[in-house]
Chain A
């Protein structure tokens, strides 16, 4: 049997799969010094004592153990590895789909300062003050040029603070831009030249090559020292920022879900309890709530007007909510969608016809009602099927406006095809197709991005 060897094939590569490794963290609880050994032990699944001994043994060998320990102490974030592992689980396995991340855009807006404007104003003031000072003879003109060069360099470097916030989204996606690096470099060079000129003035002997070299070396040494001292602090700051951001995203997601649960699920439950004696109505409300919750938890929620699949879901929802079967019972529509595309007038007509076919199947047919939509490269096809006895499409009288006009006519006017196949005991199936121009996209994410882009260009 083909299925049997399929089972073996799939599962053979991992017969007794090892547990996934815990991420590298420095646990707070079982640490002696920085928690590096404990964290490593948890990650490598070794006894802690062994890791500690390894560090001690490695220490005399040119200080390898010490350097490694210090390196990990700096770079490995503290925390419980087991908690971290739990947090890193994919959303697919934690019941809730991840929400689209849209809070990044507004955070930059609150804290934007007109840094460039302020710096420019400051620069003008300084220049004016300097000119006044020179005129009144309190300042020697020789000091002016170096100071101005230094200021220009600082402005260039600080100016990127502002542009960084403007380009926050872009820089988050692609890292730093070449422009910002150029700015920083230019700023540093200008500032350096300014400082050197100042030093040259200060020594009173003009610009002497030896003095300049010594000054440059000294300042570099000081800079390196400061950088070494501040590096851990900076590292921690960056890491805390990331943690903070993740925590805020989780928090807002939780608040979102709580609000939604309160708004709709609790209300529906209350309604269901109040109308417990009407099974049809209860089934309908439960179905509507289920649909809404599913949409919330599992679908990508594309922007309105960009997804035919979303439009179809709305049509299905409307029919399920507003129509009942022949006996007054709620009818669920089992819908399957393959592919997606941006709606156009042709697919709008197709949706209208689909709606009529669904109403027909729910009201006159017999459940279960199945709906299948396929977006191909050239065709969009819809099948609506119920298990009723059906009707003979040729025998539909002219006065039965429903099927003839609202389904068949609507599609044929758009150059599509519509046929109704009805066989006793096999149910009824309505098959609709319309031809479409541009190829379909099976990726709704990409597609909604493109739609937004074209909106932006317009």
Chain B
């Protein structure tokens, strides 16, 4: 994934401070080395308990969070997000995982993460993703967009008619999701649909909200089929 949309408003010019949470020391070292000077790692943690402590102490704008973590009640990354719920206004979570299992993705997103990227992501793309999350946007990889389409259905009956419907995507949101799943960056999606990048980000945030709040029957069934519930 290479989000070249550098939308840094609200982030400022200085480096974004992040806390890196992953139980593999080797991986943390690798991520630190791949980040450039637009992002500064201010803290690290290897377990759920440690992560909750460090995040509460440092209150960073962004936390890079592994989905699978030891410690705590065994809830992994999702548990960290829930335990840091009191920081919801200041700290945002970007999930980073080697897994592409649907239940992992949905668990952290529904806990409140603002995006999901796989560990195969390269340095500059990760920096972009971090700055996007810090700026309040959601980060959708093609795979996450695919999961959303899978969960909300792709047939004609699944289109939302009103804005307040949580259980279905609007036609526009679905178009955006399909383009992201096809490997388009936000900027390319905007060009393809003749809308602004900001509008694309609004659509993506709306989809993220639906994914987090929807009680859609199919979402439950879909999660159950993949042994999430």
Partner of A368, one of B76, B183, B228: B183
Interface residues of B in 51-87 (CB under 8 A from A): 68, 73-76, 81-83, 85-86
Which residues A330-346 have CB closer than 8 A to chain B?
332, 334, 336-339
Say what secondary structure dominates the interface of chain A: mixed
Q: Is the CB of B85 within 8 A of A14?
A: yes
Q: Give a binary string over A418-458; 1 marks a CB under 8 Å from any B CB, 0 the rest.
A: 00000000100100000000010011111000000000000
Among candidates A20, A95, A377, residue contacting B68 with C-beta atoms closer than 8 Å: A95
In the bound complex, residues from chain A placing their C-beta under 8 Å from that of B218 are 442
Chain B residues 79-118 with CB under 8 Å of chain A are 81-83, 85-86, 88-89, 92, 99-101, 103-104, 107, 110-112, 114
Q: Which residues of B contact A298 (CB under 8 A)?
A: 99-101
CB distance from A303 to the nearest CB of B (A): 16
0/1 per residue, A114-147, Cβ < 8 Å to B? 0000000000000000000000000000000000
A9 within 8 A of B: yes
The answer, yes or no, to whether B188 is at the interface (CB within 8 Å) is yes
Stretch in contact with the other chain, from B11-19, B25-33, B39-47, B134-142: B134-142
Residues from chain B with Cβ under 8 Å of A20 in the complex: 73
List of B residues within 8 angstroms of A376 by Cβ: 154-155
Chain B residues 109-135 with CB under 8 Å of chain A are 110-112, 114, 120
Q: Which residues from chain B contact A10 at a C-beta distance below 8 Å?
A: 110-112, 212-213
Q: Is B200 an interface residue (CB 8 A)?
A: no
Inter-chain CA distance A16–B87, complex, in Å, is 11
A294 at the interface (CB under 8 A from B): yes
Verify A92–B227 contact, CB threshold 8 A: yes
Contacts of B154 in A (CB 8 A): 338-339, 374-376, 442
The reply to whether A93 and B222 contact each other, CB–CB distance below 8 Å, is: no
Q: For the complex, what is the distance from the CA of A3 to the CA of B150, rounded to whole Å? A: 22
Q: B53: shortest Cβ distance to chain A, in Å?
A: 14
Q: Quick check: A372 and B85 within 8 Å, CB to CB?
A: no
CA distance in complex: A11, B212 (Å): 10
Does A262 interact with chain B (Cβ within 8 Å)? no
Nearest CB on A from B56, distance (A): 11
CB <8 Å contact, A92 and B150: no
Collect the chain B residues with CB atoms within 8 Å of residue A337's CB: 146
B20 sits at the interface (CB 8 A): no
Does B142 lie within 8 Å of A336, measured CB to CB? yes
Q: Which residue of A lies closest to B93 (CB)?
A: A7
B125–chain A nearest beta-carbon distance, Å: 10
Q: Give the docked Cα–Cα distance between A85 and B73 (Å).
A: 9
A252 to chain B, nearest CB (A): 18
Residues of A within 8 A of B81 (CB): 11
Distance, CA A135 to CA B114, complexed state (A)? 91
Interface size in chain B (residues, C-beta < 8 A): 59
Cα–Cα, bound, A429→B178 (Å): 14
> Cβ of B82 and Cβ of A14 under 8 Å apart?
yes
Contact with B along A259-298 (1 / 0, CB 8 A): 0000000000000000000000000000000000010011
Shortest beta-carbon distance, A138 to chain B, in Å?
A: 67
Query: Quick one: closest A residue to B76, CB to CB?
Result: A93
Chain B minimum-CB-distance residue to A340: B150
Asked, given contacts A370-B142, A442-B150, whether A3 binds B205 with beta carbons under 8 Å apart, the answer is: yes
B138 touching A4, Cβ below 8 Å = no
Chain A residues, Cβ within 8 Å of B86: 15-16
The answer to whether A11 touches B146 (Cβ under 8 A) is: no
Of the residues A4, A11, A297, contact of B85 by C-beta under 8 Å: A11
B82 A17 Cβ-Cβ under 8 A: yes
Interface of B (DSSP majority class): helix
| B contact residues around A375 at 8 Å (CB) | 154
Contacting residues of chain A (343-378) with chain B, CB-CB under 8 angstroms: 368, 370, 372, 374-377
User: In the complex, which residues of chain B have a beta carbon less than 8 angstroms from the beta carbon of A429?
Assistant: 182
Nearest CB on B from A296, distance (A)? 12
When distances are taken between beta carbons in the complex, the residues of chain B under 8 Å from A332 are 120
* Residues of chain B lying within 8 A (CB to CB) of residue A445: 225
Does A43 sit at the interface, judged by CB under 8 A?
Answer: no
Pick the contact of A12: B85, B178, B206, B226 (CB < 8 A). Answer: B85
- Rounded to whole Å, the gap between the CB of B228 and the closest CB of chain A is 6
Q: In the assembled complex, which residues on chain A have CB atoms less than 8 Å from the CB atom of B191?
A: 426
Q: Assess whether B150 is in contact with A385, with CB atoms less than 8 Å apart.
A: no
Given that A17-B82, A336-B181 are known contacts, is A3 also in contact with B213, CB under 8 Å in the complex? no
A446 to B226, CA, bound (A): 11
A93 to B67, CA, bound (A): 8
Given contacts A15-B85, A98-B227, contact A93 B68 (CB under 8 A): yes
- Chain A hits for B136, CB < 8 A: 1, 3-4
Say whether B182 contacts A370, CB under 8 Å: yes
B21 contacts partner chain A, Cβ-Cβ < 8 Å: no
Q: How far is the CB of A363 from chain B (nearest CB, A)?
A: 18
Interface assignment of B149: CB less than 8 Å from any CB of chain A: yes
B183 / chain A contacts, CB cutoff of 8 Å:
334, 368, 370, 372, 385
The answer to whether the Cβ of B176 comes within 8 Å of any Cβ in the partner chain is no
Our pick among B142, B205, B222 for the contact of A6 (Cβ within 8 Å) is B205
CA distance A448 to B209 in the complex (A): 33
Tell whether A8 is near chain B: CB-to-CB under 8 Å: yes
Residues of B within 8 A of A1 (CB): 136, 205
Chain A residue at minimal CB-CB distance from B68: A95
Judging by beta carbons under 8 Å apart, are A97 and B74 in contact? no
A2 within 8 A of B: yes
Q: Is B169 an interface residue (CB 8 A)?
A: no
**10 A–B pairs (Cβ distance < 8 Å), ordered by A:** A6-B209, A7-B92, A10-B112, A11-B85, A12-B85, A17-B85, A92-B101, A98-B227, A298-B101, A429-B182
Sample of 5 further A-B pairs with CB below 8 A, known A10-B213, A95-B99 = A10-B111, A92-B107, A334-B142, A370-B183, A372-B181
User: Which residues in A have some Cβ–Cβ distance to B below 8 Å?
Assistant: 1-4, 6-12, 14-17, 19-20, 85-86, 89-95, 97-98, 294, 297-298, 300, 332, 334, 336-339, 368, 370, 372, 374-377, 383, 385, 426, 429, 439, 442-446
